[in-house]
Structures are given as C-alpha cells and as structure tokens.
Amino acid sequence: MAYDLLKGKRGIIFGALDENSIAWKTAERVHEEGGTFVLTNAPIAMRMGQIDQLAKKTGSEIIPADATSVEDLENLVAKSVEILGGKIDFVLHSIGMSINVRKGKHYTNQNYEWTQKGTDVSAMSFHKVMQTLYKADAMNEWGSIVALTYMAAQRVFPDYNDMADNKAYLESIARSFGYFFGKDKKVRVNTISQSPTPTTAGQGVKGFDGFIAYADKMSPLGNATALDCANYTITLFSDLTKRVTLQNLYNDGGFSNMGVSDQVMEAFVKE
C-alpha cells in the first residue's frame, strides 16, 4: 500500500547491492511513496551488484562514490542536487563492512589495518557523508538522515566482532552530528537498529543462520525483515516524524527488551 508519504521529496540512497539489500527495499518503497532519489554505491559494488536494474525500475540515476572518500562524496552531493533539481530531503546510509569478519579473524586477534578500514567504511563514512552535506548546505529544512545499525553496539554478540565497535561509533556520530544538524539546519538524524537480516553483509557474520533463528524465537513479533526496515525508514523520511532526532530506534520485533522467551526456554527445560 502506498500513502504518498514522500511526494515531492528528494534524496540520496547509499548501499543497494542486490535485491536482498535493505537499501534496495527502501529505494523501492521510497519510489512507491512518490520520492525521487539518486542511488550510490562503491565503484566495486557496481560491478558486483545489480544496481542498474533498480535504477531502471525507480527512474533513478546512479552516481558511484566510495563513502570513505570526501572527494567522491562532494561530487555525489553536488551532482545529486543538480540531477534532482533542488536540495536534499532524505539520506539513507546503509553501509557496513568488516574485513576481520570477512576473513574470519577473531576479535582477540585483529589485523588492525583491517580494523581501521572497517571503521572508516562502517562508521566514519557516516560522519563524512553528513559533513559533506552540512558544508555544502545541501539539506532542506526538516530533512531526515538515517543510518542502519545493530544491537551489538549495546550488548555482546561475540561473532559480530569489530562491527560491534563500529556500530557503537556510528550511533555516537548520529547523536553528535545530529545536534549540530538539528540546531543549525533543522535536519534530524537517527539510527535504526535492525534485526538480523539475510543480506550479503548479514550473512558474512559467522553462525548467521543459527543466530537469525535464535533472534526470531526470542522476539514476540519475530525478526523484522528488510521490507519492515524499509517501511520504518520511510516514516522517518516523512513529515510525520519531524521532531524525532538523536535516537537509536529498534526495529527488531521486540528482541532488545527480552530476557528469555518460552520458545528459547523449551530448548533447555528437561521434561
């Protein structure tokens, strides 16, 4: 169902790799709600992914940008304003990557060059995106910026590895930059803390299949899907959430407030 929630709004969507990506689903939903946007991803992801299909389907242009490169981001922002015909109303940062996770390096045995690269891509890129938008004065008043995160920023999930620290950093940047973006430009900044979701990034985490089943059994409403996340995101881009800012918002079927569930207990109780 569409509600015209984003009619006339312009945006930039980072991180659509394939149809499983949370950013892909969000782009489809934004399009259905009447928003227009530029799609962007790292140049390498363009070759691996299917972003062209999404662009065609949503009538969008693609501008490649490595989110760790301020130069690329400056070009992206300037071109997006030009293509879309005005300042930006919404931005989705849907980017994450850990080389330690990908290469199976344990948290207690990190390769720090990889750690730094992961922090740059997964967390500092969010600061770089916002600083670029802020300096260019490219956001409209009452605009909305959202980044995606995971609850390993607050609680221990051993196999999430250095991504846990990156997410804690990302959430802190949302609050710190959100203050200045709110005060100076009337723009809100939030993070959505999403359930484990079967995407390329998600499936890189060791033991992901078992973990996603566990999270589902712990959550009274079950895991939130990528589409659920897209739907939540469009409400944050809409005018219905104008004074929601500096928040980390859980879209997780209730997981984050659970201690244990009947379904999980069943695995331990002896008859």
Ligand X SMILES: NC(=O)c1ccc[n+]([C@@H]2O[C@H](COP(=O)([O-])OP(=O)(O)OC[C@H]3O[C@@H](n4cnc5c(N)ncnc54)[C@H](O)[C@@H]3O)[C@@H](O)[C@H]2O)c1
Binding site for ligand X (CB under 6 A): 14-15, 17, 21-23, 41-42, 45, 66-68, 94-97, 121, 148-150, 194, 196-197, 199-202
Annotated ligand binding at 12? The verdict is no
Cβ neighbours, 10 Å, residue 59: 9
Sign of the C-alpha dihedral, residues 8, 10, 13, 16?
positive
Q: Provide the residue type at 83 as one letter.
A: I
Integer Cα distance of 261 and 245 in angstroms: 31
Annotated ligand binding at 210? The verdict is no
Distances (CA, A) of 94 to 86, 230, 242: 23, 11, 21
Shortest Cβ 31–ligand X spacing (Å): 17
Annotated ligand binding at 94? The verdict is no
Please list, in sequence order, all residues whose beta carbon lies within 8 angstroms of the beta carbon of residue 105, skipping any fewer than 6 positions away: 99, 111, 114, 161
Closest CA to 39 of 20, 15, 18, 19: 15
Nearer to ligand X, 9 or 93 (CB): 93
Shortest Cβ 212–ligand X spacing (Å): 8
Nearer to ligand X, 110 or 197 (CB): 197
Nearer to ligand X, 110 or 191 (CB): 191
User: What is the SS3 assignment for 102?
Assistant: helix
User: What is the SS3 assignment for 249?
Assistant: strand
Look up 179 and say whether it is catalytic: no
Catalytic residue among 112, 150, 169, 179: 150
Cβ neighbours, 10 Å, residue 19: 14
Which pair of structure tokens corresponds to residue 252?
A: 């997780």
Taking the alpha carbons at both ends of the chain, their separation in whole angstroms is: 46
Shortest Cβ 20–ligand X spacing (Å): 6
Annotated ligand binding at 79? The verdict is no
Shortest Cβ 141–ligand X spacing (Å): 27
Annotated ligand binding at 167? The verdict is yes
Please list, in sequence order, all residues whose beta carbon lies within 8 angstroms of the beta carbon of residue 127, skipping any fewer than 6 positions away: 173, 177
Look up 160 and say whether it is catalytic: yes
Kindly report the three-state secondary structure assignment for every residue of 62-98: ECCCCCCCHHHHHHHHHHHHHHHCCCEEEEEECCCCC
Nearer to ligand X, 197 or 238 (CB): 197
Shortest Cβ 216–ligand X spacing (Å): 12
Nearer to ligand X, 25 or 188 (CB): 25
Catalytic residue among 107, 112, 134, 160: 160
Which residues are known to be catalytic? 150, 160
Per the annotation, binding residues are 15, 21-22, 95, 167
Going by the annotation, the residues of the binding site for NAD(+) are: 15, 21-22, 95, 167
